Amino acid sequence: SKSFSEWLDQNVVTHRHPDYAAVTISLKGIGEAPGDASDSQMEAVADLAEKYAFDELRVSHEQNLILPHVARADLKAVYDALVDIGLATANSNLISDIISCPGLDYCALATARSIPVAQEISLRFASLERQREIGELKLKISGCINACGHHHVGHIGILGVEKKGAELYQVTLGGSADENTSVGEI
């Protein structure tokens, strides 16, 4: 199916063993809080790790989960199981794969909300076709200067600030956390 092919292209990477692949399980459903998963989703993912990934599951710094050793022959079964639990979003490294701290909704240190901003951006770019046209893009959001969302190294970074009781946002462009590390500029 087209959806399965898109998921393979976006969320599956090669493994050093040619019969295996690494699978990114996106915790960035369109319109959802980035990095969130329910207890039933986590139990189902643990079952997938046990059945298809040698009982190994990893958490990435991108706030996603990784099944690091999945037999290529099992990829369709893994995809189907992820569809069933609502975790088959094919958006790894795209604009809706947003890294965000919890912001003012959950953090006492925050000066602005970050989750609603992330949700609105993901809804704005809900079309996978549109996301793929844009290409790889690291969008990172922090709700305060502690920078838990690493906004300063995002291709697009958003920093929530408070001024005179109002939530405001500072946008930075051009950051990078790869081998050519750079801090985004205002």
The parent domain of residue 131 ranges over 99-173
What is the pTM for the complete model shown? 0.92
CATH of the domain at 150: 3.30.413.10
Is the same domain home to 162 and 125? yes
* Average pLDDT score, the chain: 96
Q: Say if strands 20-25 and 65-71 run parallel, antiparallel, or are unpaired.
A: antiparallel
Is the same domain home to 38 and 71? yes
Report the pLDDT value the prediction gives residue 106, as an integer from 0 to 100.
Answer: 94
Is the same domain home to 147 and 107? yes
Q: Which range (39-43, 50-54, 114-118, 179-183) has the least confidence?
A: 179-183
How many other C-beta atoms lie within 10 A of the C-beta of residue 134?
11
Is the same domain home to 26 and 65? yes
For residue 180, name the pLDDT band (cuts at 50, 70, 90). confident
Is the same domain home to 125 and 57? no
Report the pLDDT value the prediction gives residue 78, as an integer from 0 to 100.
Answer: 99
Is the same domain home to 111 and 70? no
Does any domain span residue 181?
Answer: no
Task: With CA atoms as reference, report the closest residue to 65 among 41, 30, 101.
Answer: 41
How many other C-beta atoms lie within 10 A of the C-beta of residue 99?
27
Does any domain span residue 92?
Answer: no
For the stretch 2-24, pLDDT in tens is 999 999 999 999 999 999 999 99
Residue 130 pLDDT exceeds 90: yes
For the stretch 32-82, pLDDT in tens is 999 999 999 999 999 999 999 999 999 999 999 999 999 999 999 999 999
Residue where a domain stops, chosen among 84, 115, 142: 84
